[in-house]
Structure 1
Amino acid sequence: MTQPPQPPPNEPPQGGFGAPQDPPPGGFGAPTPPPADPFGKPPATAPTPPPGGYGTPPPAGRPAQQPGYGYPQTPPQGQPPQPGYGLPQGQPQQPGYGYPPQGQQPQQGYGYPQQGQPPQQGYGYPTTPMQQPYQPPDGNGPKRFSTQAQIIVAAAVAVVLIVGAGVWYASSGDDGDKKKNEASTSAGTDGESKGGDGEGLGGSGSGSGSGKEKVPSNTKGTVAFQLPQPKVTAVTTVDGSWLTDKAYVKTGVNEIIGYDPAKGTKLWSIALPGQLCAASRHMTKDFKTAVAFEEGKRTATKKYQACNHVGALDLNTGKIMWSKSVTAATSGDAPVRFNEVTLSGTTVAAAGTEGGAAFDLNTGAERWKPKVSTDGCYDTGYGGGEALAVVRKCGKYDDPQLTIQALNPITGAPLSSYKMPPGVDYASIVSTKPLVVAADVGDTAGDGSGISDFFSIDAATGKLLVRIPAEAEKYAAKCRSTEVESCQQLAVGNNRIYLPTEEHEGGGEYGDTNEIVSFDLTTGKQTGDRADAGDRYTMFPLRMDGGNIIAYKKPPYDKGGQVVSIDGSTFKQTVLLENPSDESVRDAETSFSADYAEFRYSGGRLYISEKMISKPRESSLNDKEYLVVAFGAN
């Protein structure tokens, strides 16, 4: 698999899978007001779901999983970073899910006899005669089936076993892992109890009927607009996209641009002193957000600048409200560098390997900055949205101790603390309310996803509610190892975490599929929730819509993608948008990789955009490369 664009060796790592998130009602990128009570406790009890669930390894013979997005890569010495998978670079487009290789005929289904060959024994077909012949109840001795009857019965048995195996693969749990999947209730905490959302993954809605997304009168979509990639000479971050009530907003080169949401015409542009390097996934109710950007524009002699400025943006008016840098006692006069930035209420929090700082959203006044620590501890990153939490790292580089703290967003004072178990080098905050953390404990995931377990934590006390194993061969969500708030393809709501399963063989002759399932955040057990993507489609959550889940379905080679709403109570799916199946439109839609793209959906419109772009390869000069493609319901 082609690897994503890598930052130059003298730049801090951008982070990759191995460490956008839920908007409030009103759409992906829509705001939520600052909560009166920043943290809430999960329900004391939760219904025990029926046993079973998705979970077996892929069938023998299938290729091994490739490293996920962000898996650490090192370019060969003397070579520039290579563009990432999902950035159209002129290479021949790979066929969609379930499409046979070019020049080959579609393969027959599993167990189908090959041309010119006799039927092969199917899965589960008896390979040795039964030791005891069938004895009828009348006692008259064994009766032999005719040859034709034997063939019919054998074929029926093989079909039943194949279908049964497929159903078990998609819906059953692994009894061998039953002990591992049981809820862990060990506290493991060193803390004491102390007194507007964009793409946030968390949501406090519950049950059905609480979503705000309505079904358009016609769900058949058309292309709203397509924006070409700006020309760059090096790997450039264009992370950040938001939806307001008047504009679709997207990061460009040294600017942030507001577009007409239906036409794609430019409404306004915010010029930045340097290239954007981090963007908050959250907004306030009046469409204010935060970004981090480089100290100056890149030049031929200085191709890379330090990411050391934080600013607040008013996306309603298209203005930058303020921007500033901070210094720390440990860094002298040099401004602190940041890797990420988030927003909770009126607190802008930015962090990196030199520690974290916070500012007042409206005035830019400092609320806290990196402090001298005798024990070598520092804030590596924050999770925002409905509340504020931090991943704090202490100890040696090769033997760190991570602590998850719920913070007072005004003062930065810890409200509670939970010590992560040994063997955790990086942790990601999936949601702040409820407080959910992902980590790859002991690097056991093995697939570069950054997730081996989820930790559901009581933010009020710092006690671990449950630890949920998420085997890499079963589940497909991803988190970047070096960025605290970067998890995607999952959602949190209804006191549950919703995960996509890994792709597996579908019921058709060819083509993969998958499901979305959920775990209870109090018991840690898999619930009975299950939404099937359908034959040749694969799906993953985008965000919560009240108590419902908004999900995107990646299409097969001859269809357009879909956006669906999954009822949080019944798990019934409702199609909100179906993109065109024309070849040129499909090519544009599928040129984006789900691992490297931002998806925003609201009010019948879907926007897919790149998060990182690079200089085109010579072989791709004649191919169209898109920064954004947008679809709208008729």
Structure 2
Amino acid sequence: MTQPPPPPNQPPGQPPNQPPSGGFGAPHDPPAQGFGAPTPPPQNPGYGYPQTPPPAQPPGYGYPQAPGQPPTQPGGYPQQPGYGYPTAPMQQPVQGGTGGGKKLSAQMQIIIAAAVAVALIVVGGVWYASSGGEDAPTDNAKGSSGTTGSAEGGGKGGPDGPGQEKASGNTKAKVAFQVPLPEVTDLTDVNGSWVTDKAYVKSGVESVVGYDLDKGTPLWTTPLPGQVCAASRHVKDNKTAIVFEAAKRVPPKNFQPCTEVGVIDLTTGKLLWRKSVTGADAGDDKVSFDEVTIGATTVAAGGLDGGAAWDLTTGKELWKPQVNAEECEDRGYGGGEALVAARLCGPYDSAYLLIQNLDPKTGAPLSSFKMPAGVEDAGIVSTKPLVVAADVGDTAGDGSGISDFFSIDEKTGKLKVKIAADAERYAAECDSSGVEVCHRAVVGNNRLYLPTEDHEGGGEYGDTNEIVSFDLTTGKPTTDKADAGDRYSMFPLRMDGGNIIAYKKAPYDKGGQVVSIDGGTFKQTVLLENPSDKSVRSAEQSFVLDSAEIRYSDGRLFIADDLFDKPSDSSTDHKEYLAIGFTTH
């Protein structure tokens, strides 16, 4: 989906046509005991109840695909090896030991024909069950094997090892707390959600707040001089990084340059250090940044003015934007175990993009890969292994920003393989600007995991989809396939060892789920299922779930906005939510 240009100095991330969060319909009467029995934060005792969205539209449906039609499967996910019509073996003369060829006797031909018929029935039945035909299993908790994962969860996982997330005896969640949407006068960025063993941490209005995991009461609040603009998705030693404005917004402008980079201790909430730089395109002014990340032990921020970096612990400046002969600028960085830059070089009419694995201490390139001609924007999905997404030749056509994934050897900079990802088949997305801005795509077990687009399910009505994978060495689709189940739609959130943690968007009459997909067997284990009560469903589904900040850890699920606006005239009679927490504890 094509996104509108962001406001000045404001990072992207707002999905197209996004309504003010929660601004749907008239308020719904809460249950007698209150919605989730929240404990209000001291600064805002006016906790409310989730509103009711407009009546749910029936999921799109049509004639289900006729069973037994193998190659073109709904949604276009890769044809899995071994699926499809089996081919009967040709009859060959049976060779005798020493006497040459002999024709089959009539009795033997009957026996072989019967055996072939049985084989066809068995193999055909395996294909039919796997292809999502009308009689295929539709339990949303079942994986591609048609069996539910063990209650203990975890599993052996894939090559990257077992996961840490395990299902408890109770997977039915309840509402832990809700954080009301703050009052603002204009579009406000609230990028950033993190979970520690003690707190759910969320960016707010000119602040970052740590909330008790189960009660929602503030444990600490870190005031900031201006609004948060961007936040790292990575945490290192319980620290994370943010970009924020140096001063409060003043109407009617309501925006300030995003010049300040800081590191927050997620245990105490302390702002450990705050830095800014000048130079390059910004001249004597402070450099503005669009995004920030943590790679290895380095905090790196990038944008249209170039990139800068600091030591995570000390805040020591490691490098800042400089003009060079090649006119290169670091547009942004991908973090995690390594630090990778997307570096745009050359004059405007002949610019080219380099993907460079950096020495995190000096910024010196360890390897470099030149993206195809015409590609000036790329999303770094993973730094180790190095996987980059881009829209080559503007061929994606759907605003997803992805036509291909590039698997790159981070040591040599050589391309391992390019994976074509038809935008009509796969549902991953990279924001229109930025570098570490891709969603619904994760990397692990030397594989790239993607959700398919929604398509007709096997039941009477309702859409569904799958998570599939590609081998990062060969670029070929694997046999991995996890079915969301009728009327559910799933996408990966993150890796957990060799397992995939995925969120399942529920139909209008159910609560969402979190599942763990074993990276070895691809069996699914339900870790958490939200209540199906109307008031809770309305609150969960009021978020734009494809782009919301969704975090899961140890039996707790948190859903939050990353951007919101002042309430519309039609939504002033009911409460809206910045974040909601669910728990199985």
Say if 2:193 is the partner of 1:247.
no
- Aligned-partner Cα distance in 1 for 2:549–2:291: 16
- Aligned-partner Cα distance in 1 for 2:220–2:284: 35
One-letter amino acid of the counterpart of residue 430, structure 1: V
Say if 2:274 is the partner of 1:323.
yes
Map of 1:452-467 to 2, 5 A cutoff?
A: 452-467=403-418
One-letter amino acid of the counterpart of residue 433, structure 2: T
One-letter amino acid of the counterpart of residue 110, structure 1: Y
- Aligned-partner Cα distance in 2 for 1:210–1:97: 40
Structure 1 range deviating more: 574-583 or 418-427: 418-427
Paired residue secondary structure (2:198): coil
Q: How many residue pairs end up in the alignment?
A: 484
One-letter amino acid of the counterpart of residue 84, structure 1: Q
1 or 2 for the larger relative contact order (CA 8 Å, sep ≥6)?
A: 1
* Equivalent residue, structure 1, for 2:9: 12
CA contact (8 A) 1:428 1:481 kept: no
Say if 2:24 is the partner of 1:84.
no
What displacement does 1:593 show?
A: 1.1
CA contact (8 A) 2:209 2:221 kept: yes
* Equivalent residue, structure 2, for 1:611: 562
Deviations 1:210-237 (A, max 9, x none): 1000111100111111111101111110
One-letter amino acid of the counterpart of residue 181, structure 2: Q
One-letter amino acid of the counterpart of residue 219, structure 2: L
What displacement does 1:302 show?
A: 4.6
CA contact (8 A) 2:503 2:513 kept: yes
Say if 2:443 is the partner of 1:492.
yes
Say if 2:175 is the partner of 1:215.
no
Structure 1 range deviating more: 523-532 or 416-425: 416-425
What displacement does 1:620 show?
A: 1.4
What displacement does 1:385 show?
A: 0.6
Say if 2:427 is the partner of 1:476.
yes
Q: 2:53 aligns with which of 65, 85, 93?
A: 93
Map of 1:192-341 to 2, 5 A cutoff?
A: 206-207=158-159, 210-285=162-237, 287-300=238-251, 302-341=253-292
- Aligned-partner Cα distance in 1 for 2:440–2:523: 19
One-letter amino acid of the counterpart of residue 63, structure 2: Y
- Aligned-partner Cα distance in 1 for 2:167–2:320: 46
- Aligned-partner Cα distance in 1 for 2:168–2:440: 24
What displacement does 1:595 show?
A: 3.1
- Aligned-partner Cα distance in 2 for 1:329–1:613: 33
- Aligned-partner Cα distance in 1 for 2:242–2:425: 35
Judging changes above 3 Å, is the alpha-carbon distance between structure 1 residues 172 and 292 closer, same or farther for their aligned structure 2 residues? closer
Say if 2:453 is the partner of 1:502.
yes
Paired residue secondary structure (1:283): coil
* Equivalent residue, structure 2, for 1:600: 551
Say if 2:394 is the partner of 1:443.
yes
Paired residue secondary structure (2:381): strand
Map of 1:389-404 to 2, 5 A cutoff?
A: 389-404=340-355
Deviations 1:157-201 (A, max 9, x none): xx545x7688566655499xxxxxxxxxxxxxxxxxxxxxxxxxx
CA contact (8 A) 2:73 2:79 kept: no
* Equivalent residue, structure 2, for 1:110: 63
One-letter amino acid of the counterpart of residue 525, structure 1: K
CA contact (8 A) 1:208 1:567 kept: no
One-letter amino acid of the counterpart of residue 166, structure 2: K
What displacement does 1:425 show?
A: 2.3
Structure 2 runs not aligned, ≥5 long: 26-51, 82-156
Judging changes above 3 Å, is the alpha-carbon distance between structure 1 residues 454 and 404 closer, same or farther for their aligned structure 2 residues? same
Map of 1:96-175 to 2, 5 A cutoff?
A: 96=56, 98-99=58-59, 110=63, 160=67, 172-173=78-79
CA contact (8 A) 2:80 2:479 kept: no
- Aligned-partner Cα distance in 1 for 2:222–2:386: 34
* Equivalent residue, structure 1, for 2:95: none
CA contact (8 A) 1:237 1:613 kept: yes
CA contact (8 A) 2:279 2:322 kept: yes
What displacement does 1:312 show?
A: 1.0
- Aligned-partner Cα distance in 2 for 1:420–1:633: 45
One-letter amino acid of the counterpart of residue 464, structure 1: L
One-letter amino acid of the counterpart of residue 268, structure 1: W
Structure 1 runs not aligned, ≥5 long: 18-68, 71-82, 101-106, 112-122, 124-158, 176-204
What displacement does 1:85 show?
A: 4.2
* Equivalent residue, structure 1, for 2:295: 344
- Aligned-partner Cα distance in 2 for 1:174–1:551: 21
CA contact (8 A) 2:280 2:306 kept: no
One-letter amino acid of the counterpart of residue 187, structure 2: V
Give the structure-2-normalised TM-score. 0.79
CA contact (8 A) 1:86 1:591 kept: no
* Equivalent residue, structure 1, for 2:539: 588
* Equivalent residue, structure 1, for 2:30: none
CA contact (8 A) 1:337 1:354 kept: yes
What displacement does 1:289 show?
A: 1.0
- Aligned-partner Cα distance in 2 for 1:97–1:540: 22
Paired residue secondary structure (1:523): coil
- Aligned-partner Cα distance in 2 for 1:448–1:496: 24
Give the structure-1-normalised TM-score. 0.73
- Aligned-partner Cα distance in 2 for 1:250–1:601: 14
- Aligned-partner Cα distance in 2 for 1:435–1:171: 24
CA contact (8 A) 1:221 1:578 kept: yes
RMSD of aligned Cα (Å): 2.3
What displacement does 1:624 show?
A: 2.8
- Aligned-partner Cα distance in 1 for 2:451–2:55: 22
Q: 1:363 aligns with which of 314, 332, 338?
A: 314
Deviations 1:98-136 (A, max 9, x none): 558xxxxxx8x638xxxxxxxxxxx8xxxxxxxxxxxxx
- Aligned-partner Cα distance in 2 for 1:253–1:6: 22
What displacement does 1:377 show?
A: 1.1
Structure 1 range deviating more: 342-351 or 438-447: 342-351
CA contact (8 A) 1:538 1:553 kept: yes
